[in-house]
């Protein structure tokens, strides 16, 4: 789906700002009172300053009125949502117009023509944040009868981040031609010497047009190529390189009866990506991933778009000598993807498939209550949701140069029977959908050791989340080192042709807490923990990178093992560095972005 853009043929109006707001029921044929308001975009949870609202589960409403802009006979009016978490029903002047399931991808609602002559539009959005065993992410849903007899909906997250909800990303009103460009697909193929790019630009239109013209512009807006039959050749191409981005623009024009009816400019970078012989190649050079698992998580905004935080995070990432992040554990905003494109940051793009492990705490016996885990694949009914999130993510992000790999799920029970049948078609679906045929991976959980995992032979890169010295051998780094070394060597021997990427490793750390001994949660322990991990990583030839968990501390549900959130960040939640930042910066600055241990 195209990002909303102002062009000669398209108008864009911002619907961000203050909306009327209500938890619970509302009849969209009536007017929502302005007694309670909410800002768009943001999570409603923290700004409400009320514990019950913060933890509320169920329907909640947003409403506002706007004057209708001029829409001529050959144009249409569209309401475009960047995301509503986790689902939304949209009404205009009381009439139901459409809905969207899934909290992290954009959707559009076309306003019917009979409204265009009216003075105002009343837009009502019924959002809902319930999660269960059919949704992604996966939540444990139940209902509790209160003392007064009322029923309270509860979601216990099957994942380790706060279930923030709301209209999380921008809302725009778009006026565009009825005959418009509905999609652009860009695939570049490089010549062997990497000097020339053959760029295939496929354009879809909403209705038949007479002619589609595609012009390729460089960053100075000079014309460098014109497409013939959907193909353009860029000689002396400037490649999109890691932290040295270069973006061309495909300027698409659609003509009908000799008249320009629609135009749209899609930025794109030219680079190649492939996996071969245990290496991850970008522009045919092996890359070493240095970076982070992240979250969209800031004070006040929660999971709502915070562009200043996005930019600061990528500046901090560069400052540390890093080059990459994973969109753990859901698709990030389109604004973040565009920023990563522009800054040359590598992105591992993940769908919200988290929590696919029926009884995570019981399996690890974290709670120590001996509860028996059930077979995940017998109880989950997430197949339809999973197909949808893959389709929507690839449709949204396919043209981004920054996206170099897709993630099918984070830490599913890939060691339980049924996992292979569940994942095989989904991995294939990614490959079929992706016009650029990027590598696909699954992020493996530590329970799914090499002898138990049933899925990783199907993916291109072995991605591992490993917590030796934290969840395993807690506080005993000697024992942890032995365990980690042994396991990584086993993976290396099992899949000698596959690269291994550490997608999570980390230790909760409270800044300012110190000790002369190896005591978990202190800044010294975090330092020693990383030192030990890096020592082991450096001995594994196929290990192509390390992404620490996490970039910054982040909010979670209340749990015995969480002290006001997860504190594995290298930075605090307000982006102040912990002591470890200096060590890791030193290490990463010394490792080139293009680097391999294999010669």
Report the distance separating Cα 35 and Cα 39, nearest Å. 13
Paired tokens of 567: 């504190």
E strands of 312-402, at which residues?
324-326, 346-350
Torsion on CA atoms 364, 366, 372, 378, rounded to nearest 10: -60
Out of 411, 416, 487, 555, pick the active-site residue: 411
Cβ-based nearer residue to ligand BDP, 410 or 414: 410
Helix (H), strand (E), coil (C) string for 216-242: EECCCCCEEEECECCEEEECCCCCCEC
What value, to the nearest 5°, has the Cα angle with vertex 342 and ends 341 and 343?
95
End-to-end Cα distance, the chain: 41
Out of 266, 350, 481, 504, pick the active-site residue: 504
Cβ-based nearer residue to ligand BDP, 4 or 293: 293
Cβ-based nearer residue to ligand BDP, 89 or 568: 568
Cβ-based nearer residue to ligand BDP, 188 or 533: 533
- For the bound state, the minimum distance from the C-beta of residue 445 to ligand BDP, rounded and expressed in Å, comes to 7
Binding mask 413-452 for ligand BDP (x = CB under 6 A): ----------------------------------------
Binding mask 304-343 for ligand BDP (x = CB under 6 A): -------------------------x--------------
Known active-site residue 266:
no
Q: Could you check whether the bond before residue 329 is cis, i.e. omega within 30 degrees of 0?
A: yes
Paired tokens of 165: 């909800």
The answer to whether 104 and 388 are in contact (CB under 8 A) is no
Q: Using the Cα atoms of residue 22, residue 25, residue 31 and residue 33 in order, give the sign of their dihedral.
A: negative
Q: Does the footprint of ligand BDP cover residue 397 (CB under 6 A)? A: no
The residue count for binding ligand BDP (CB under 6 A) is: 10
Report the distance separating Cα 412 and Cα 410, nearest Å. 6
Report the distance separating Cα 225 and Cα 222, nearest Å. 9
Considering only residues 20, 105, 251, 410, which one is a binding residue for ligand BDP as defined by CB under 6 A?
A: 410
Considering only residues 59, 504, 546, 553, which one is a binding residue for ligand BDP as defined by CB under 6 A?
A: 504
Q: Does the footprint of ligand BDP cover residue 566 (CB under 6 A)? A: yes
Known active-site residue 411:
yes
Q: Does the footprint of ligand BDP cover residue 549 (CB under 6 A)? A: yes
- For the bound state, the minimum distance from the C-beta of residue 523 to ligand BDP, rounded and expressed in Å, comes to 17
Q: Does the footprint of ligand BDP cover residue 411 (CB under 6 A)? A: yes
Q: Does the footprint of ligand BDP cover residue 555 (CB under 6 A)? A: no
The answer to whether 475 and 515 are in contact (CB under 8 A) is no
The tally of CA atoms less than 13 A away on the side-chain side of residue 374 is 7
- For the bound state, the minimum distance from the C-beta of residue 472 to ligand BDP, rounded and expressed in Å, comes to 12
Paired tokens of 322: 């890093």
Q: Does the footprint of ligand BDP cover residue 160 (CB under 6 A)? A: yes
Q: Does the footprint of ligand BDP cover residue 568 (CB under 6 A)? A: yes
Active site residues: 411, 504
Residues that bind ligand BDP (CB under 6 A): 159-160, 329, 410-411, 465, 504, 549, 566, 568
């Amino acid at each position: 789906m195209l990002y909303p853009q102002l062009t000669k043929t398209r108008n864009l109006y911002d619907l961000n700002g203050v909306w009327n707001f209500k938890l619970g029921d509302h009849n969209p044929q009536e007017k929502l009172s302005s007694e309670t308001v909410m800002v768009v975009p943001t999570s409603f949870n923290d700004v409400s300053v009320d514990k019950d609202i913060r933890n509320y589960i169920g329907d909640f409403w947003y409403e506002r009125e706007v004057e209708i802009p001029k829409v001529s006979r050959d144009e249409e009016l569209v309401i475009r949502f960047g995301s509503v978490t986790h689902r939304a029903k949209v009404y205009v002047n009381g009439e139901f117009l459409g809905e969207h399931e899934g909290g992290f991808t954009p959707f559009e609602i076309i306003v019917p023509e009979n409204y265009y002559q009216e003075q105002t539009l009343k837009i009502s959005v019924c959002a809902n944040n319930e999660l269960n065993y059919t949704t992604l992410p996966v939540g444990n849903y139940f209902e509790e009868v209160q003392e007064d007899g009322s029923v309270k909906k509860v979601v216990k997250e099957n994942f380790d981040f706060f279930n923030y909800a709301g209209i999380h990303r921008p809302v725009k009103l778009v006026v565009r031609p009825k005959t418009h460009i509905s999609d652009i697909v860009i695939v570049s193929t490089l010549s062997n010497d990497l000097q020339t790019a053959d760029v295939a630009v496929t354009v879809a239109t909403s209705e038949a047009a007479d002619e589609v013209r595609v012009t390729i512009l460089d960053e100075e807006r000079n014309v460098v190529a014109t497409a013939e039959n959907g193909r353009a050749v860029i000689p002396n191409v400037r490649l999109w390189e890691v932290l040295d981005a270069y973006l061309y623009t495909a300027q698409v024009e659609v003509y009908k009866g000799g008249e320009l009816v629609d135009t749209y400019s899609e930025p794109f970078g030219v680079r190649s990506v492939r996996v071969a012989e245990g290496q991850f190649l970008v522009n045919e050079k092996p890359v070493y991933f240095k970076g982070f698992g992240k979250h969209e998580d800031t004070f006040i905004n929660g999971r709502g778009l915070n562009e200043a935080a996005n930019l600061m995070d990528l500046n901090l990432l560069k400052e540390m000598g890093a080059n990459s992040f994973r969109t753990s554990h859901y698709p990030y905003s389109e604004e973040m993807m565009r920023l990563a494109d522009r800054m040359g940051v590598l992105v591992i793009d993940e769908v919200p498939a988290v929590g696919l492990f029926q009884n995570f705490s019981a399996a690890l016996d974290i709670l120590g209550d001996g509860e028996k885990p059930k077979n995940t694949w017998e109880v989950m009914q997430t197949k339809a949701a999973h197909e949808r999130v893959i389709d929507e993510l690839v449709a949204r992000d396919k043209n981004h140069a920054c996206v170099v790999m897709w993630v099918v799920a984070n830490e599913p029970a890939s060691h339980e029977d049924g996992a292979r049948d569940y994942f095989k078609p989904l991995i294939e679906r990614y490959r079929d959908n992706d016009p650029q045929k990027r590598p696909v991976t699954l992020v493996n959980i530590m329970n799914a050791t090499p002898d138990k995992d049933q899925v990783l032979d199907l993916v291109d890169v072995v991605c591992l989340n490993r917590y030796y010295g934290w969840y395993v051998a807690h506080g005993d780094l000697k024992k942890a080192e032995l365990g980690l070394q042994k396991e990584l060597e086993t993976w290396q021997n099992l899949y000698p042709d596959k690269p291994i990427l550490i997608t999570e490793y980390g230790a909760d750390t409270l800044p300012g807490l110190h000790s002369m001994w190896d005591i978990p949660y202190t800044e010294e322990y975090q330092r020693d923990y990383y030192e030990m991990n890096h020592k082991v990583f450096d001995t594994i030839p196929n290990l192509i990178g390390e992404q620490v968990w996490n970039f910054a501390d982040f909010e979670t549900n209340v749990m015995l093992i969480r002290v006001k959130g997860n504190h594995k960040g290298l930075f605090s939640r307000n982006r102040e560095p912990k002591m470890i930042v200096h060590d890791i910066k030193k290490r990463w600055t010394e490792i080139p972005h293009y680097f391999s241990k294999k010669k």
